[in-house]
Chains A and B, each alone.
Chain A
Amino acid sequence: MFIDIKSSFRPAIVMTLLFALLLGIAYPLALTGIGQALFPHQANGSLIEQDGRTIGSALIGQSFTSARYFHPRPSAAGKGYDGMASSGSNLGPASKALADRVAQDIKTGATSPGRPIPSDLVTASASGLDPHISPDAAYYQADRVASARGLAPATVRKLIDDSIERPLLGFIGEPRVNVLEINRRLDRISANQSR
């Protein structure tokens, strides 16, 4: 047994150092170099520029509170869509805090009273940074957005129709609407109308 232990020291220490250099330093740095060279947009966070400023990432959700915009899902990341504090609510199915929060969100967000509210619109996402809502959740908000902007409801519905991303091959993923993207399109429609 003692000889087994003694014979292990040199390989254990030297292998640790060698693999630390190879896997802990060379591997991530080499990929950073290759990634930055081949896919600079994605490697730096898929950032969106508009009028010379960075307005967000195509992949990360952000808060919208104005009635003029489509609203994203409730977020448990920090105080909401905190990009440095990703988190779900972690509330269990029989949690009073969950039931109270959903009831409150329905009260403030139910712009189409009488219609059942789409599940994703009142539930917190897993990351707190979900960039998408379901098509149902978008249609649910269409009338509010249309009236706040003085647009025809049909225009807003048409915009939603055009903004739906479909599942790959029909079954990988879910139909969804990117909230930041559709809100940017809304702004463009309003800008064109006022011109």
Chain B
Amino acid sequence: MTLQGWMLILAFTGILLALTKPVGLWLFALYEGRRTPLHALLGPVERGFYRLSGIDPDEEQGWRRYAVHMLIFNTVLLLLTYAVLRLQDMLPFNPLGFAGTSEHLAFNTAISFTTNTNWQSYAGESTLSNLAQMLGLVIHNFLSASTGIALAFALFRGFARRGSQTIGNFWADMTRVTLYLLLPACILYALFLIASGVPQTLAQSVGVTTLEGARQTLALGPVASQEAIKMLGTNGGGFFNANSAHPFENPTALTDFVQMLSIFVIGFGLTWTFGKAVGNVRQGWAILAAMLTIFLVGVTVTYWQEAAGNPILHHLGVAGGNMEGKEVRFGIAASALFSVVTTAASCGAVNAMHDSFTALGGMIPLINIQLGEVVVGGVGAGIYGFLLFAIFAVFVAGLMVGRTPEYVGKKIESREVKLAVLAIAVLPLIILGFSAIASVLPAGLAGPLNKGPHGFSEILYAFTSAVGNNGSAFAGLTANTPFYDAMLGVAMWIGRFFIIVPMLAIAGSLAAKKYTPETAGSFPTTGPLWTGLLVGIVAVVGGLTFLPSLALGPIADHLAMIHGQLF
């Protein structure tokens, strides 16, 4: 570990803390449906969209209608992408003449991008046409992100409203976030990326003759436009197989730094928006403090392990930290930081190959996803996931002091706790269940590249990433098979919508409640005690559930590594 490395981590955190309130304020304006300076330009587009699709943006929806409209919309989007992928050979912008993808790959990929996972069973540069990338995938990168933020808004309203039967209008929330936040931000961001060296062209490849006289063909495409929303919307699906490690996706250390910031920036802002929405910004800062605590512990462990390096290679006479699967321009600090950021959020972009991390260095990304990606988390998904833990935490606190739990002015009763536990329990159930199935069936065992415990880690990581809607991988796993495409596709769908529906039910139930003012007997949900309790609940629920599987994978792998046992 170096001083420069820690300066990078501190600068990263500091810049995000400085951006939290401005971004939170902008999001709050969208949450409230207020006019922004961008309305002068984009207001006609917004109104035109409503008129053509017959939407009244002021019509309030109850939680059921909000959920149904969100689900049907996502299903139609899914079908569009499935069709584009299957038919890409008959559609334009396919200069390399790629064939339509297989049924199982199109199924997996359409679900993957609809659910904000961006798990990729394919290598973009050798599989997808430019149209498939633009129309099939970029549209989801925007809309799965704005859907996530809309859902967070709905839950905020559940806490903020009193005696209300409604939680907002899905179409208005989703459209406003897309038009007044994501689209303009991505246009500026993409221009910065192009200026830094990210290609933006309709050509799909270019041939060169190298200095030694060999032929080299370089994959190109409309990369920058996809890269911007890939990061800002915590999607993570790379244009190329190597994702943000590819020099055309992430050419410089500065683009890398900005990419990391852009994964977290909306998630940070949403904590502030939540505090503002419930009338006390300290509630938001308390949540952010708990998230940051877990985040910094993770960064420390991964950075320390990667900088320490691989003793097996040291024994062979190699000096220095673990550079297998890392790029020189980023080095160890920025690679470790990126891996923790991308898994703490539900992004899943990678600038280094997690599969080749040291055993414990690679375990932290795995744990981050297993905790439910509530450490900042995906745009929208992070904060609503964390609020489920907060409900659980006030319930536990209520049990300890023997009072009815309250949170930000709402009584938390049996219905909310049951729904929160239901949503939280989906994650371990599917991750561990599906990993167990894949670990015994021949079709599952055919997947891993590595042998021994690391092979099990590859399987466990895949299902963790799918259910958590992360999308990063221990990429040695051969996943483009009917078995894995189908299993991971189902896992991604459950991991997204089986959490969202109970969460919206909680929002509806809370919105209907009256306000319960804080009294001297209320458990305070702003100070260090509360932050500590939140960290504890997240760690215990995640830790206890997954520890046995971690012992079989990364921990066994670590013991092998330090004793020089090869597989």
Q: Tell me, yes or no, whether A binds B.
A: yes
- Contacts from A to B (Cβ < 8 Å): 1, 4-5, 7-16, 18-20, 22-25, 27-29, 31-32, 34-36, 38-39, 42-47, 53-66, 69, 73, 77, 81-96, 98-99, 102-103, 106, 110, 116-120, 122-134, 136, 167-168, 170-174, 176, 180, 183-184, 187
Given contacts A62-B210, A87-B241, A93-B356, contact A11 B55 (CB under 8 A): yes
Known: A118-B319, A131-B247, A187-B211. 18 other contacts (CB 8 A): A12-B69, A27-B183, A31-B194, A42-B194, A43-B201, A45-B206, A55-B209, A63-B212, A64-B212, A84-B125, A85-B123, A91-B355, A93-B310, A93-B312, A119-B319, A120-B323, A124-B356, A170-B7
CB <8 Å contact, B211 and A180: yes
The one of B73, B138, B356, B475 in contact with A8, judged by C-beta atoms closer than 8 angstroms, is B73
In the docked arrangement, what's the CA distance between A91 and B334, Å? Answer: 20
The one of B197, B200, B325 in contact with A90, judged by C-beta atoms closer than 8 angstroms, is B325
B331 / chain A contacts, CB cutoff of 8 Å: 173-174
Docked complex: B158-195 residues within 8 A CB-CB of A: 171, 175, 178, 183, 186-187, 190-191, 194-195
Q: How many residues of B contact A (CB 8 A)?
A: 127
Does B398 have its Cβ within 8 Å of any Cβ on chain A?
no
B357 / chain A contacts, CB cutoff of 8 Å: 93
In the docked arrangement, what's the CA distance between A170 and B560, Å? Answer: 37
Does B358 have its Cβ within 8 Å of any Cβ on chain A?
yes
Nearest 6 interchain pairs by C-beta:
A173-B253, A126-B245, A174-B331, A90-B476, A119-B320, A92-B454
In the docked arrangement, what's the CA distance between A25 and B131, Å? Answer: 8
A-B contact pairs, 9 of them (CB 8 A): A16-B76, A42-B197, A58-B197, A61-B247, A77-B242, A94-B566, A95-B454, A122-B313, A131-B247
B497 / chain A contacts, CB cutoff of 8 Å: none
In the docked arrangement, what's the CA distance between A128 and B246, Å? Answer: 8
CB <8 Å contact, A57 and B171: no
Given contacts A5-B68, A98-B324, contact A24 B476 (CB under 8 A): no
CB <8 Å contact, A92 and B356: yes
Expressed in whole angstroms, the minimum distance between the Cβ of A93 and any Cβ of chain B is 5
CB <8 Å contact, B557 and A86: no
User: Which one of B214-222, B275-283, B416-424, B427-435 contacts A?
Assistant: B214-222
A-facing mask of B260-287, CB < 8 A → 1, else 0? Answer: 0000000000000000000000000000
Expressed in whole angstroms, the minimum distance between the Cβ of A85 and any Cβ of chain B is 6
CB <8 Å contact, B55 and A127: no
Q: Which residue of A lies closest to B45 (CB)?
A: A22
B566 / chain A contacts, CB cutoff of 8 Å: 94-96, 99
CB <8 Å contact, B324 and A24: no
